Amino acid sequence: MTKFTDLNLNPKVLKAIQEAGYESPTPIQAGAIPPALEGKDVLGIAQTGTGKTASFTLPMITMLARGRARARMPRSLVLCPTRELAAQVAENFDTYTKHLKLTKALLIGGVSFGEQDKLIDKGVDVLIATPGRLIDHFERGKLILSDVKIMVIDEADRMLDMGFIPDIERIFQMTPFTRQTLFFSATMAPEIERITNTFLSNPTRVEVARQATTGENIEQGVLMLTASRKDREATEKRNVLRALIDAEGDKCTNAIIFCNRKMDVDTVAKSLKKHGYDAAPIHGDLDQSQRTKTLEGFRNGDLRFLVASDVAARGLDVPSVSHVYNFDVPSHAEDYVHRIGRTGRAGRDGKAIMICVPRDEKNLADVERLVQREIPRIENPLGNKAPAKSATDDAGKSDKPAVQDATQDDATKTEKPKRTRSRSRKKPEAAKVETETVTADSPEADTAPEVKAEQQPEPKAVKSDEKRQDDKPQHDKQQNRRGGRGNNRNENRNQNNRNDNKVVGLGEHTPEFIGLSFAERRD
């Protein structure tokens, strides 16, 4: 078993790691840190939750420990898709630089330039940024990237989804070609493949399996709900949500409630608040100070219910979330994995409960196909019929005169017309592997470097520098699903879509596929 002490990290970094209570690296860390320290480019294929963040921060800090930054010329650069993730990476740096004097700046949108400018002017070793704001600084001439020695792209596939790839290419071109690049993506969509072929030089490829979706410690359930009337669906969903929360009682210490739409995030948050639940919304239309404050409150336990869009689905690390409620079935099955991965972190128990209305059944089927198991159906705590007359006093009751706030918790709220155009959007569920793989099913927090030794699969870095060319030719069959940019390639679907070895056991806590390597899963 590899230990951090075997990895040639700076002693002061090791000290900080120890103080944080970590001893053994996760597979992605064990695989990526050595080549990164040798100065090689790294292509890391890993999800959040695998300890990815530390797999680049630790070697970066070690390498930056010598030398000092000059004014306006940062020595390294980390790009993240969302502000929250960038902030989290920044925190990670703080944790592991505590015995060193490295400087950093967090360049994200939604906050004023002043502070960021000041830091840049003083000179920073590490720049952590979202693409838009970084380019903004660059264009204002505030930033010179010609001294960047190490550049990290985090969550590249999400950048792709969000249309950031052109920005990323631009940023690549703003940095010297001699830089070292550490590039992370959960999948290798064709467009991602293209970028890595263009901007990475002979990278060491390190691949770990998809995050344990339904880790044995996450109990899942789905409530099938058919509204009494179409126009009451939203209201009844909220009633049921509260009932589901109540049914958990004290076991639900805190929870994230995911909705598919920002508007619903607001509505649900308001509704919960109105009914006396300690809830607050977070999504991309709220201003950054609000987002930060809300998240902070949730992290430190002041806030019990975080109602969120998918801005919070990935990567966010709140160590102890007891429950995840999916108010809607996510329309991208993959997001289900990310969402429920917010609970059951670091080996804790977690529970993930979802509400599914008829319209979402197709999405549910996609989710179940992805996680290769049937999600146990749960009873409606309000009883299956007459949801309208059930025990709660939700404002939907017609004898209540008024609901004056915007939650419209009554029948006046009508669903906007739904189009159910079903795009065929089957997504291969497992990243394709052409080399050996390592399964990383540890429930570790993404920002945490550790994993207790016993739950660690044997780390095996895969160096594919040599293997890549002569491997199987079906290289870019990976399908990119979303409408990001430049993915008008619809050609070949990955053949991964069948799930013959589905685990259907309802009491089953560990779906078998988690223990399988990608290669095995393919069969």
* 135 sits near DNA (criterion: CB under 7 A): yes
Which residue number, 56 or 258, has a Cβ lying nearer to DNA? 258
CB of 383 to DNA, least distance (A): 31
Question: In angstroms, what is the minimal distance from the CB of 432 to DNA?
Answer: 22
Stretch of 36-44, 46-54, 106-114, 208-216 lying at the interface with DNA (CB under 7 A):
106-114
Q: Choose, by CB under 7 A, the member of 31, 34, 81, 350 that binds DNA.
A: 81
CB closer to DNA, 61 vs 168: 168
Q: For residue 38, is it left (φ>0), alpha (ψ between -120 and 50) or beta? A: alpha
State the binding string over 161-200 for DNA (x if CB under 7 A, else -): xxxx--x---------------------------------
Of the candidates 363, 407, 406, 411, the one whose C-alpha atom is nearest the C-alpha of residue 387 is 411
**Nearest residue (CB) to DNA, 109 versus 381:** 109
Token pair for 76: 């390294």
Stretch 137-166: interaction string toward DNA, x if CB under 7 A: ------------------------xxxx--
119 belongs to the binding site for DNA (CB under 7 A) = no
What is the per-residue DSSP string for 281-344? EE-TTS-HHHHHHHHHHHHTTS-SEEEE-GGGTSS---S---EEEESS--SSHHHHHHHHTTSS
Selected binder of DNA within 23, 91, 117, 136 (CB under 7 A): 136
Q: Interface with DNA by CB under 7 A: which range of 107-115, 398-406, 459-467, 514-522?
A: 107-115
Task: Name which position in 36, 51, 61, 84 contacts DNA (CB under 7 A).
Answer: 84
- Nearest distance from C-beta of residue 419 to DNA, angstroms: 3
| Closer to DNA by Cβ: residue 158 or 351 | 158
Q: How many whole angstroms separate alpha carbon 186 and alpha carbon 189?
A: 9
Residue 82 near DNA by CB under 7 A:
yes
Q: Which of 83, 480, 134 is nearest to 316 (CA)?
A: 83
**d(Cα 149, Cα 421) in Å, to the nearest integer?**
47
Query: Between residue 294 and residue 333, which ones bind DNA under the rule CB under 7 A?
Result: 309-311, 331-332
- What is the x/- site pattern for DNA, positions 464-503, by CB under 7 A? ------------------xx--------------------
Count Cβ atoms below 10 Å from residue 370 Cβ, excluding itself.
24
> Over the range 242-262, which residues count as b (16 or more CB within 10 Å of their CB) and which as e?
bbbbeebeeebebbbbbbbeb
Instruction: Tell me, residue by residue from 432 to 471, as one string, x for binding to DNA by CB under 7 A and - for no binding.
Output: ----------------------------------------
**From 129-137, 141-149, 245-253, 431-439, span contacting DNA (CB under 7 A):** 129-137
Beta carbon nearer to DNA, 262 or 345 = 262
CB closer to DNA, 308 vs 433? 308
Distance CA 94, CA 108 (A): 17
Q: Is 365 in the site for DNA (CB under 7 A)?
A: no
Number of C-beta neighbours around residue 269 at 10 A: 24
Site string for DNA, 398-427 (x = CB under 7 A): --------------------xx-x-x-x--
In 7-51, alpha helices (H): 11-19, 27-37
Looking at residue 476, the DSSP 8-state letter turns out to be T
Taking the C-alpha atoms of residue 379 and residue 53, their distance in angstroms, rounded to an integer, is 39
Q: Output 58 or 80, the one with its CB closest to DNA.
A: 80
- CA–CA dist 201, 210 (Å, integer): 25
Which residues on neighbouring strands pair with residue 185, listed in sequence order? 45
Residue closer to DNA by CB (options 263, 504) is 263
- By CB under 7 A, which span of 58-66, 102-110, 364-372, 445-453 interacts with DNA? 102-110
Q: Considering only the stretches 80-88, 406-414, 436-444, 445-453, report the one whose residues sit in contact with DNA under the rule CB under 7 A.
A: 80-88
CA distance 153 to 128: 10
Q: Which stretch binds DNA (CB under 7 A): 20-28, 43-51, 134-142, 173-181?
A: 134-142
Q: What angle do CA 428, 432, 437 make, to 5 degrees?
A: 130
- Beta carbons of 345 and 320 less than 8 angstroms apart: yes
Binding track, positions 247-286, relative to DNA; x by CB under 7 A: -------------xxxxx------------------xxx-
The residues, any chain, with a CB within 8 Å of residue 76's CB and separated by 6 or more, are 60, 64, 125, 126, 127, 148, 149, 150, 151, 152
Question: Token digits for 448?
Answer: 């945490």
CB closer to DNA, 88 vs 235:
88
Number of amino acids touching DNA (CB under 7 A)? 40
Coil/strand/helix, residue 520: helix
Answer for which of 98, 109, 226, 457 binds DNA (CB under 7 A) is: 109
Packing angle, helices 131-139 and 165-174, rounded to 10: 40
> Would you say 256 and 309 are in contact if contact means Cβ atoms under 8 Å apart?
no
> What backbone torsions phi and psi does residue 383 show, to the nearest 5 degrees?
90, 160
Q: Which is nearer to DNA, 137 or 521 (CB)?
A: 137
Residue among 108, 295, 340, 431 that touches DNA (CB under 7 A)? 108
Q: Of the two residues 139 and 523, which places its CB atom closer to DNA in the complex? A: 139
Task: Give the whole-angstrom CA distance, residue 233 versus residue 5.
Answer: 56
- Closer to DNA by Cβ: residue 219 or 334: 334
Residues that bind DNA (CB under 7 A): 81-84, 108-110, 129-136, 161-164, 167, 260-264, 283-285, 309-311, 331-332, 418-419, 421, 423, 425, 482-483
